[in-house]
Amino acid sequence: MRRIGSSLLAGVMALSVAACGTLDRPTGPLRIADGSLVPAQDPRIRANDAARLGAFTQEIGGRLANGRPFNMLALSGGGANGAYGAGLLVGWTERGDRPSFDIVTGVSTGALAAPFAFAGPEWDPQLRNAYTDGGASGLLSWRSLALFLYPSLFSSSALRKLVDENVTPELLQAIAREHAKGRRLLVATTNLDSEETVIWDMGLLAAQNDANSRALFREVLVASASIPGVFPPVLIAGLQPDHTVVMEMHADGGVNTPFLAIPENLTLWTRGADQRGGGALYVVVNGQVARNEGVTPGKLTGILLRSYDSMSKASLRTHLATTAAFARRNGMAMSLSAIPDNVEASSLKFDSETMNALFDLGRERGRNPDGWARLDQTASEQTFIPAAVLPAEAVPEALRPKEETPPLPAPQ
């Protein structure tokens, strides 16, 4: 899967070329100051927060243990490939059987789409525009280059503009209404200081509806989508138990997890014999899953890119396998949709033609039941991810591979 694609290369280039770029960081805890983005209620669910993590775990585990039907949608990272997931949701609405999700989670580009998915199908036009109206085309333009200003190749100004234009007061109000019904919108970032995944209760932020919470809502989305080396990380004020503020460095949620589904401390949990289980989990991977064989170029860039591609796919498959095993043990249906493996997909290709083609591909697959594969009904690691390959004539022109990867040479 090209989930972050050439971001590793970008990171290496950022280290070597943009060594002068830094983020000014406080040297110690700071007392709360005017303007700090500290909301009245802390929306973070952290690994060291036993109370909030326990409540989140109980919310998932309680639903499963009591056999209460619920639907969960997990949107992965993938940069520009997020257009696929956006199209999939719109096509699913058009098909007529898209469920109302009790829990929606997002990582990286999935975090940008998650608020629209959570707010409901009536927000499909806005979801489509966010990925296809050309607003994303400037994310990696020369105007955004910031080699000597930030520890990244590009500034986040275009990303922030994209978030600001799409996270409207009306969207926040819709999210707050759904949150009040007991539904949950969760977004993951990676705290680079503590090396932990932080889960943000975005519905709680929307419901607070003050200047700090609205600003923090946008900051979290920017942080979750900030691919290291490509965009600078985001410094977010974290309120500590002693009422001091520490500026935490948050970046792409995909650094630690490809998608957010089952809480980590529930991974090995199994329902009791007298507990019914149930529920449905839908995972949208904005990228590809299968291994692709070919000759790796003998250059630094080729070796780094191929290594990262293999590493990220292996992590994704492990995460999927673990989650599928959990689903099987607990009577939970789990479905996966991913970009077909014979489609040319790059997470850093934000041009309008490619993103519109990916959106249309996702939309077509959302209309078709073949766009989903059940993962809870297969037992072996070798077969639990069905191949997703389109007939050659069905691959849009803009997404056809430009050149074939040569096969591995036969042994002499």
Greater model confidence, 155 or 198:
198
Structure tokens, 20: 């002068």
Return all residues near 22 (Cβ < 8 A) that are at least 6 apart: 150, 151
Burial status of residue 28 (CB atoms within 10 A of its CB: 0-12, 13-18, 19 or more): exposed
Mean pLDDT in residue range 54-61? 69
Average pLDDT over residues 46-59: 67
Our measurement of the distance from residue 69's CA atom to the centroid of its chain's CA atoms, rounded to an integer in Å, reads 25
Average pLDDT over residues 90-100: 96
Strand 234-239, strand 103-107: pairing: unpaired
pLDDT confidence bin for 202, thresholds 50/70/90: very high
Percent of the chain with pLDDT strictly greater than 90: 38
6: pLDDT strictly greater than 60: no
Cβ contact 208:202 at 8 Å: no
pLDDT band at 53 (very low <50, low <70, confident <90, very high): low
Per-residue tokens: 341: 């493996």
Residue 49's pLDDT band, with cuts at 50, 70 and 90, is low
Task: Please give the structure tokens belonging to residue 309.
Answer: 């591609």
**DSSP string over 302-316:** HHHHHHHHHHHHHHH
Pick from 316, 246, 324, 318: which is nearest to 288 by CA? 316
- The mean pLDDT of 43-61, rounded to a whole number, is 70
Within 13 Å of residue 316, how many CA atoms lie on the same side as its CB?
A: 30
Number of Cβ within a 10 Å radius of residue 307: 12
Q: CA–CA separation, 35 vs 197, rounded Å? A: 25
State how far the Cα of 236 lies from the Cα of 239, in Å rounded to an integer: 10
Q: pLDDT tier at 145 (50, 70, 90 boundaries)? A: low
Place of tokens 């949990």: 269
- How far, in Å, CA of 122 to CA of 104, rounded? 16
Quote the pTM value: 0.86
Paired tokens of 321: 């396998």
Residues 223-251, mean pLDDT to the nearest whole number? 83
